Amino acid sequence: MFLSEFISIEDAFKIIGSNQVVNDYETISLDHAYLRALGEDAYSYHDSPPFDKSAMDGYALMSKDTFGASLNNPKYVVLIDEIGAGDLSEKEIRDGEAIKIATGAPIPKGADAVLMEEFTVLNGNNLEIHSQITPMENIAPKGEDIKREDRILSKGTLLKPAELGLIASSGHDKVKVYKKPKIKLITTGNELVKPSKRIKKAQIINSNRYTISAMIKSVGGLVEVEHCKDTKDEVKIAILKASNEYDMILTTGGTAISEGDVVVDVVKLIGEVLIHGVAIRPGKPFGFGKLENTPIFMLSGNPSAAISQFDIFVRKYIFEIQGLEYNPPILRRESKVKIPSTLGRTDYIKVSSDDEYVNYSLNKGSGIIHSMVAGNGYLIIDENNEGIKKGDVANVILFRSMELS
Amino acid sequence: MFLSEFISIEDAFKIIGSNQVVNDYETISLDHAYLRALGEDAYSYHDSPPFDKSAMDGYALMSKDTFGASLNNPKYVVLIDEIGAGDLSEKEIRDGEAIKIATGAPIPKGADAVLMEEFTVLNGNNLEIHSQITPMENIAPKGEDIKREDRILSKGTLLKPAELGLIASSGHDKVKVYKKPKIKLITTGNELVKPSKRIKKAQIINSNRYTISAMIKSVGGLVEVEHCKDTKDEVKIAILKASNEYDMILTTGGTAISEGDVVVDVVKLIGEVLIHGVAIRPGKPFGFGKLENTPIFMLSGNPSAAISQFDIFVRKYIFEIQGLEYNPPILRRESKVKIPSTLGRTDYIKVSSDDEYVNYSLNKGSGIIHSMVAGNGYLIIDENNEGIKKGDVANVILFRSMELS
């Protein structure tokens, strides 16, 4: 595989994008809708607030009865009723009258303002007023926030805490959302074993199982894992079975061009390979294909390369399969380090960046597990660029901005 | 409640901080450890790589046998064996010999480099070499990444995908983590009803149930919700029961000083109220207390105020109860808008900010549900500041940076 044989990252994005599938919908309880994507526009059944309501604990009255009032020149009204939260008063306020009212309670007829408790003294039913207020003061008017039949949220919105509160307030206790993607992760490799204190020479612990599973969870996918030996038969059976039962398949290993790298060969045999090899670093040996309509992402067996490939190609797909847009902001940061690159190849260099600078690079080769846990973003060097010099302003995507939130 | 009666935000942080509890540990499968906090330092059982391994598909040989080789001046060696991934070769390479080797396979004895397949032509067992390589080229040496008994991660580390991969590679299939906090959310209010198309006048839909539950989930808590009427008996029974069964209690409603606001009164009766009222906006009527050793956070019934109180006081506590540090970065952003404030009060103003500017404020009163879903961070105006002028550089915390990730 020479660089000239790889397709560009832009072409890879196009091919994957034109094969994007989107999941069906389901209606679920609002209690379980956190971090799901709204499957239709949501409208309100109610005005919010549903009535003119008090924004304070105090006294509902006619504001004109307070005009000119001060500590030295108090005014007086008579208390005729009391309204707790959740209560109503049938009484109508007239000149010189007030009704005690709790925060959130409906304003009684005749009143046009609420005077805060702090500015009063109550003697029996006589209320002494020490401050003047204006009409509508301390009243949240009906429909101020939301009007009945307003569209409150659009299809595709990620349901975070405030969005759930908004939907609830609008009268919905159920919500139509995109189904979560069911994803099969098939790790391959004869040399791979489970984590253990003792391993034989030539064996390698299968860390992709944990890393890639967690990455799938981090973007809202439901994951099941299976491990296969590097034989065509075993890989073929696993992929065929998964293609019938899952929305997407991810594999690790078997993507380089050499004997024993069977995943790409098997997908060629039973489906279509649309991408094999992209001019990126790290992560060149990346494959993408289809089995009927089931997409399959073939990641490298190398842990660090597999992480980059997931970040570059798979995250966006998993966002979009569940109806969510994926657009992490590209930040501009001055680099304190020199990072060489090669024309014709796009680099995703793991870096540590703060709010102003790229401070250092973690680019120590794609096999270094230890460096994976450091850094907070990718510095991207596009294919028309031979590298970044000290002092250059570079494009940076923060890991955090690539997550579901 | 006048401003002078409230304690400062700094004092509130101190009181809550000095009452921080920390959960116990449990040992769980690595498969379920995503977003858990490591309960002890983790050490490696293995070198990584566990042996000198090939970083390429190619031919293991003595680098000196390639010296001077080029397309026009090829050198020749004889192939004596082949090593697939997960295999071993017992053979030892001597002068003029090579062994075909897969990426990740152990380097055979005698070899000191791996020549990439691309730079060779194989005729039977005769390998024609078109490029020279240096000693150790394309070899990842044993222990390069991690040495046996190295500390790989510290106690309190949040286990994200790469951390899980690192722990697996180090030989652990189980991991000791802090227990997730079990949190009881008690919403109070006679006026509150479940989301429905039709509600009676004076009723309000209980949106806090959904908003605060999701916020608890967003920081790793396990939440159960119960709703109570505003009666001392009902609230007392709910809080007492929860204090025996949960690690923390959150309430909404009943924190202002007026009749019918029973939560604070009940906690005074059956436990200790350590904070009632903080000089912040929004969210002044915030309470914090203890029942034996169970912390109770008393949030406002007002949805938007409750969200701010959670963000300001509760998030940090839930991070720390499960062994995690909480330190969202404070960014410096130039404000395009004027935001007035009052001396002696700390404001958390919801704003929309980009990588350079605070573009607008969403500070439309604490009751506006609709505005809750907009904005991406808080602009903080401290108590010694009368407000932000256009062009001032202000402190901003992004919502995203307050999350568990």
Closest chain A C-alpha to B147 CA, distance in angstroms: 11
For chain A, give me the number of helices (H) and strands (E)? 8, 28
Contacts of A118 in chain B (CB under 8 A): 1-2
Which residue from A85, A189, A194 is facing B260, i.e. has the nearest CB? Answer: A85
Is A146 part of any domain? no
Which residue from A162, A203, A373 is facing B163, i.e. has the nearest CB? Answer: A373
Identify whether residues B186 and B312 lie together within a single domain.
Answer: yes
Tell me how crowded residue B212 is: count the other CB atoms within 10 A of its CB. Answer: 29
Identify whether residues A41 and A128 lie together within a single domain.
Answer: no
- Those residues of chain A that have pLDDT short of 50 are 1-4, 366-367
Identify whether residues A172 and A225 lie together within a single domain.
Answer: no
Identify the CATH number of the domain in which residue A337 sits: 2.40.340.10
Helix (H) or strand (E) holding B266: helix B262-270
Is A196 part of any domain? yes
Tokens of B94: 């001597």
AA letter at A2: F
* Closest C-alpha among B176, B56, B67 to residue B116: B56
Nearest CA in chain A to B333: A355
- Cβ <8 Å between B161 and A212: yes
Tokens of A265: 């060969």
The residues pairing with B287 across neighbouring beta strands, listed in sequence order, are B276, B298
Tell me which of B52, B88, B89, B103 to substitute to probe the interface with A (most A C-beta atoms closer than 10 Å). Answer: B103
Which residue from A84, A191, A217 is facing B86, i.e. has the nearest CB? Answer: A191
Identify whether residues B57 and B11 lie together within a single domain.
Answer: no
Identify whether residues A305 and A382 lie together within a single domain.
Answer: no
Contacts of B401 in chain A (CB under 8 A): 400
Q: Number of A:B CB contacts under 8 A?
A: 292
The pLDDT of residue B120 is: 93
pTM of the model: 0.89
Contact yes or no for A60/A108 (Cβ under 8 A): yes
Can you tell me the ipTM of this complex? 0.88
CB burial string A336-368: b at 16+ within 10 A, e below: ebebebeeebbbbbbbbbeeeebeebbbeebbb
Q: Which long-range contacts (CB under 8 A, 24 or more apart) does B4-8 make?
A: B4/B344, B5/B277, B6/B277, B6/B278, B6/B279, B6/B284, B7/B275, B7/B277, B7/B278, B7/B279, B8/B278, B8/B279, B8/B344, B8/B346, B8/B383
Closest chain B C-alpha to A385 CA, distance in angstroms: 24
The pLDDT of residue B366 is: 45
Structural domain ending residue among the three candidates B321, B353, B372: B321
Nearest CA in chain A to B85: A191
Structural domain ending residue among the three candidates A321, A353, A378: A321
- Cβ <8 Å between B51 and A369: no
Is B146 part of any domain? no
Number of domains in chain A: 4
Is B297 part of any domain? yes
Identify whether residues B197 and B290 lie together within a single domain.
Answer: yes
Is B145 part of any domain? no
Identify whether residues A130 and A190 lie together within a single domain.
Answer: no
Each residue's pLDDT tens digit, A213-272: 999 999 999 999 999 998 999 999 999 999 999 999 999 998 776 555 799 999 999 999
Structural domain ending residue among the three candidates B282, B301, B321: B321
Tokens of B244: 């025996």
Is A145 part of any domain? no
- Cβ <8 Å between B197 and A102: no
CA dist., res. B304 & res. A34, Å (int): 18
Identify whether residues B126 and B92 lie together within a single domain.
Answer: yes
Is A387 part of any domain? yes
Identify whether residues B32 and B174 lie together within a single domain.
Answer: yes
CB burial string A27-40: b at 16+ within 10 A, e below: eeebbebbbbbbbe
AA letter at B245: E
3-state secondary structure of B75: strand
- Cβ <8 Å between B302 and A208: no
Is A326 part of any domain? no
**Number of residues that this document lists for chain B:** 405
Identify the CATH number of the domain in which residue A118 sits: 2.170.190.11
Closest chain B C-alpha to A34 CA, distance in angstroms: 6
The pLDDT of residue A405 is: 78
Contacts of A211 in chain B (CB under 8 A): 161-162, 164-165, 168
Tokens of A404: 């579901």
- Cβ <8 Å between B118 and A2: yes
Identify whether residues A184 and A233 lie together within a single domain.
Answer: yes
Tell me which of A103, A150, A359 to substitute to probe the interface with B (most B C-beta atoms closer than 10 Å). Answer: A103
Nearest CA in chain B to A374: B162
Identify whether residues B130 and B217 lie together within a single domain.
Answer: no
Closest chain B C-alpha to A43 CA, distance in angstroms: 11
- Those residues of chain B that have pLDDT short of 70 are 1-4, 257-260, 363-371
Segments of B257-342 assigned E as strands: 272-276, 280-281, 287-291, 294-299, 331-335, 339-340
Contact yes or no for B78/B97 (Cβ under 8 A): yes
Identify the CATH number of the domain in which residue B36 sits: 3.90.105.10
The pLDDT of residue B304 is: 86
- Cβ <8 Å between B153 and A373: yes
Identify whether residues A220 and A292 lie together within a single domain.
Answer: yes
* DSSP string of A30-42, one letter each residue: GGG-TTPBBSS-E
- Cβ <8 Å between A205 and B372: no
Contacts of A105 in chain B (CB under 8 A): 191, 202
Contact yes or no for B336/B313 (Cβ under 8 A): no
Task: Please state the φ and ψ torsions of residue B58, each to the nearest 5 degrees.
Answer: 175, -145
Closest chain A C-alpha to B100 CA, distance in angstroms: 11
Burial of A226 (0-12, 13-18, 19+ CB in 10 A): middle
Which residue from A168, A301, A367 is facing B205, i.e. has the nearest CB? Answer: A168
Nearest CA in chain A to B369: A166
- Supply the range of the domain harboring residue B81: 53-140
